[in-house]
Chains A and B, each alone.
Chain A
Amino acid sequence: MEADAKPMKLGGRLCCVCNQRRAALKRPKTLEQICRECFYAVFEEEIHQVILENKLFKPGERIAIGASGGKDSTVLAYVLSELNRRHNYGLDLFLLSVDEGITGYRDDSLETVKRNELQYGLPLKIVSYKDLYGWTMDEIVKMIGLKNNCTFCGVFRRQALDRGAALLKVDKVATGHNADDIAETVLLNILRGDIARLSRCTSIITGEDGPIPRCKPFKYTYEKEIFMITLGCQSLNELSTYAYFKKLDYFSTECIYSPNAYRGFAREFIKDLERIRPRAILDIIKSGEDFRIATSTKMPEQGTCERCGYISSQKWCKACVLLEGLNRGLPKLGIGRNQGLNSDAKKDIKKDDRTKSIESKQCGSLEF
């Protein structure tokens, strides 16, 4: 084997970094062929660089890792605790989980988080919908059926994470959103004509003006690579010399209530694009970042909910509107645009027209 020979010539199998070991992965970002050992090192180093370049954390901060028990947050918990130790970030890390109350789904995945708590030695806090709102998702679905249930879950989860973070007195929440997720969200926000979210969704840190900012250390990380980390870890005992390649324990079952979620279509489209041209994912994120919003566009004003004090661009925050609907037996309150909102309910809630959110605009009002 000659040192200057291209790895491609050697059966297309050698790692482009070390030029010694068999390549195990084609990196979607760069199309490089890389072996497992070099991949793990490069993966962690890239996350470290993203954290430094974007100043995601400051020494002494308390950071909650939003932990669902899924692969992204499991790998995030693992990588952050590893980097924190290796590079002396000086962070106090916590795991923060939301229990939506979905039997056979969340109860199982929370078991995974509890195992992560022991594996990584990170304190775990679980906040439940039942405690915060008085309803579990099982009870909500029983009342409203399988339509719009994801709206309730999404709105409630967002707030639940913030409330849990406040209880833990953390400075920031880190979530496991990866590049594929963010590209998906860019597309969804364009499809929905939601300019306010479109302009926020690509930011690596959000909510800096609010009480608890959030950051996404995996913003530039392909889902495929996160999977390769978890997979490699499973078969590592026999393969690797690295001591830390324990099997990463994660939970991978689809939410039993979301088989028809709209996001699924965007997700599939992104995966189709990725097969044709893997860079498409980063390109979509870039497009989202560079999207310019006409200065004449009225953006929703951030205020606070009159009822619970949570940030809201309306008189009441979305969670309070949804909750009011549930408690009064009018579950369609606050769902959708015009359809489904019965006029009685509309009068009752007295939407504040003065700060009418652009999120309620119909598609087609985008200005480029």
Chain B
Amino acid sequence: MHLMLEFGGGLELLCESVKVHNVNVDMPKGADKLTMKDLLAWVRTNLIKERPEMFMKGESVRPGVLVLVNDCDWELSGQLDTTLEDKDVVVFISTLHGG
């Protein structure tokens, strides 16, 4: 499944200062869909190069990290249960840095 992931607000520093990542993510074995929960695990393994605790807490993002799926607040689509589709755009922005 092809996805576009964007990191901002300082999170890009955790993935070699690259803001936009065009990636292919496979569905978990035996599953028929890819959820945000699966994607976060994939991102942590494959994209985050340092300080993963700045990005995640438990199996979700750290509080203070905003997530948008196709420009929509993920709190409206079920957060970790959000089902992703091909060509979706997922944005992660940290609000933990100063303003």
Residues of A within 8 A of B (CB): 12-13, 22-26, 33, 36, 68, 70-73, 176, 178, 180-181, 223-224, 226-228, 231-232, 235, 239, 252-255, 258, 264, 267-268, 271-272, 274-275
Contact = CB atoms under 8 A, between A and B. Distances in A.
Contacts of B68: 231
Nearest to B74: A26
A26 to B, nearest CB: 4
Contacts, number: 75
A176 B99 contact: yes
B9 interface: yes
A70 B99 contact: yes
Nearest to B91: A231
A33 B98 contact: no
A267 B71 contact: no
Interface residues of B, number: 21
A228 B76 CA distance: 14
Given A271-B63, A272-B63, A253 B97 contact: yes
Interface string B56-76: 000000111010100111011
A255 B64 contact: no
Contacts of A275: 63
B76 A23 contact: yes
A310 B45 CA distance: 53
B66 A224 contact: yes
A239 B71 contact: yes
A70 B10 CA distance: 12
Nearest to B89: A235
B56 to A, nearest CB: 13
Most buried by B among A72, A231, A232: A231
A228 B75 CA distance: 13
A36 B70 CA distance: 13
23 contacts: A23-B72, A24-B71, A25-B72, A25-B76, A33-B76, A68-B99, A70-B98, A178-B99, A223-B99, A226-B99, A227-B9, A227-B93, A228-B66, A231-B66, A254-B97, A255-B98, A264-B96, A268-B62, A268-B63, A271-B63, A271-B96, A274-B63, A275-B63
A41 to B, nearest CB: 17
B5 to A, nearest CB: 15
Given A33-B76, A271-B64, A272-B63, 12 more contacts: A23-B73, A24-B73, A68-B98, A70-B98, A70-B99, A181-B99, A227-B66, A235-B71, A252-B9, A253-B10, A253-B13, A267-B64
A235 B10 CA distance: 19
Contacts of A254: 10, 97-98
